[in-house]
C-alpha cells in the first residue's frame, strides 16, 4: 500500500558500515512492524513497535540490529557493522491498532552488502 | 507456533483460465486469520484477501477467492480469469488471535511463483 513509505528503496553498504532504514507509517497508524525477506524466502517477523515503545523484538538478531519509533518522525531500523548475510529486503508494515486484519506493507528497502 | 506450507514453488496458467494456489497451515491456536499477499517483480507486498478462522463463508475479493477448509487446515487462493498482470509471487500468511506476545506476528510461507501465459 502506497501509504506506508519506506526509504531508501535500495541501499548498498560495504561490510562494516551502518545501514539505516526508514519507515513512515500510514496516517493515523501508530503500530509499526518490521519484516525481513531473504532471497527465495517468505517474510520473517523482526520487531513490533508503537510510538516510543518496543513491544516485541523477538525476531531481531541479538547483536547489531536495533529499531526505534520516536514520538516524532519515522521508525528506524538500524543495522550496525553490516555483513553480507544482512543482504535482504526489509519491509515495514503499519496498522491503526494491533489489528486482526491486514497490515499494510511499504515497498521495502533492498539492502545489498558488498 | 504457526507454520505455513506452500508446496508449489512455481505454477503456470493460461491467460483467462482459473488457477488455485495451495496453502496449508499448522497451528494450535483456536482462533486465527489467514492472508494472501502478492509480490510482483517490483517487490512490493500487496494485500489480496483475508479469512478469519470463524468466518462462516469463504472470503472473496473481486477475482480472488479463498477456499477455506478448516478441518483440512487449508486456505487455497483461487484466481479466476487470470491476467498477464497476475504473474508474481504469492504468499500465504497467518496470525493468531489472542492477546499477548506474538499475537500480531504474521507467519509467511515460502511462496508460489505464478506465471500467466498469453
pLDDT digits (tens, 9 = 90+) for A22-50: 999 998 888 899 999 998 888 999 999 99
Instruction: With CB atoms and an 8 Å threshold, state whether B105 touches A89.
Output: no
Task: Write the residue in A31, A58, A105 that is nearest to B45 by C-beta.
Answer: A105
- pLDDT of A1 over the 50 cut: no
Per 3-state DSSP, chain A is made up of helix, strand and coil in percentages (nearest 5) of 5, 50, 50
Cβ(B88)–Cβ(B114) under 8 Å? yes
Write the CB contacts of A40 (distance below 8 Å, at least 6 apart in sequence).
B110
Q: How far is CA A95 from CA A78, A80, A104, in A?
A: 21, 27, 7
Cis peptide before A8 (omega within 30 of 0): yes
Widest pairwise Cα distance in chain A = 39
Q: Is B110 on the interface with A (CB under 8 A)?
A: yes
Strands A109-113 and A10-13: parallel
For range A8-32, the mean pLDDT: 95
Q: Determine the pLDDT at residue A101.
A: 62
User: Nine-digit cell at B41?
Assistant: 517483480
**Chain A to chain B Cβ contacts (< 8 Å):** 64
Please name every residue paired with A12 in a beta bridge, in sequence order, or none if there are none. A112
What's the DSSP call for residue A92? E
Half-sphere exposure of B67 (CA within 13 A, CB side): 13
Contact A40 B110 (CB under 8 A): yes
Q: State in Å, rounded, how far the first CA of chain A is from the last one.
A: 30
Q: How do residues B81-118 score in pLDDT, each as one tens digit?
A: 999 999 999 999 999 877 666 667 899 999 999 999 99
How large is the C-alpha radius of gyration of chain B?
14
Mean per-residue pLDDT, A1-24: 93
Q: Do A104 and B43 touch (CB under 8 A)?
A: no
Phi first, then psi, for residue B86 (nearest 5°) are -80, -10
pLDDT digits (tens, 9 = 90+) for B61-70: 999 999 999 9
Chain A residues whose beta carbon lies within 8 Å of the beta carbon of residue B102: 56, 58
- pLDDT classification of A2: cutoffs 50, 70, 90: low
| Cα dihedral sign, A64-A65-A69-A73 | positive
pLDDT tens digit sequence for B34-68? 999 999 999 899 999 999 999 989 999 999 999 99
Q: What pLDDT, on the 0 to 100 scale, is given for residue B14?
A: 98
Output the nine-digit C-alpha cell for B108: 509467511
Contact A43 B50 (CB under 8 A): no
Amino acid at each position: 500500500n502506497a501509504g506506508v513509505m519506506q526509504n531508501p528503496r535500495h541501499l548498498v553498504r560495504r561490510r562494516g558500515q551502518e545501514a539505516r532504514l526508514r519507515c513512515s507509517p500510514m496516517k493515523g497508524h501508530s503500530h509499526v512492524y518490521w519484516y525481513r525477506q531473504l532471497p527465495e524466502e517468505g517474510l520473517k517477523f523482526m520487531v513490533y513497535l508503537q510510538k516510543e515503545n518496543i513491544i516485541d523484538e523477538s525476531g531481531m538478531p541479538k547483536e547489531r540490529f536495533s529499531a526505534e519509533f520516536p514520538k516524532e518522525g519515522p521508525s528506524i531500523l538500524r543495522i550496525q557493522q553490516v555483513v553480507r548475510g544482512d543482504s535482504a529486503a526489509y519491509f515495514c508494515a503499519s496498522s491503526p491498532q494491533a489489528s486482526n486484519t491486514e497490515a499494510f506493507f511499504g515497498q521495502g528497502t533492498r539492502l545489498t552488502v558488498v | 507456533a504457526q507454520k505455513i506450507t506452500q508446496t508449489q514453488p512455481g505454477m503456470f496458467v493460461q491467460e483467462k483460465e482459473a488457477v488455485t494456489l495451495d496453502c496449508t497451515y499448522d497451528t494450535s491456536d483456536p482462533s486465527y486469520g489467514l492472508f494472501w499477499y502478492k509480490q510482483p517483480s517490483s517487490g512490493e507486498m500487496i494485500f489480496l484477501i483475508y479469512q478469519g478462522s470463524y468466518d462462516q463463508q469463504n472470503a472473496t475479493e473481486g477475482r480472488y477467492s479463498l477456499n477455506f477448509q478448516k478441518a483440512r487446515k487449508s486456505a487455497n487462493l483461487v484466481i479466476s480469469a487470470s491476467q498477464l498482470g497476475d504473474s508474481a509471487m504469492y504468499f500465504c500468511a497467518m496470525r493468531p488471535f489472542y492477546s499477548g506476545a506474538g499475537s500480531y506476528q504474521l507467519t509467511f510461507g515460502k511462496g508460489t511463483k505464478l506465471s500467466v501465459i498469453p
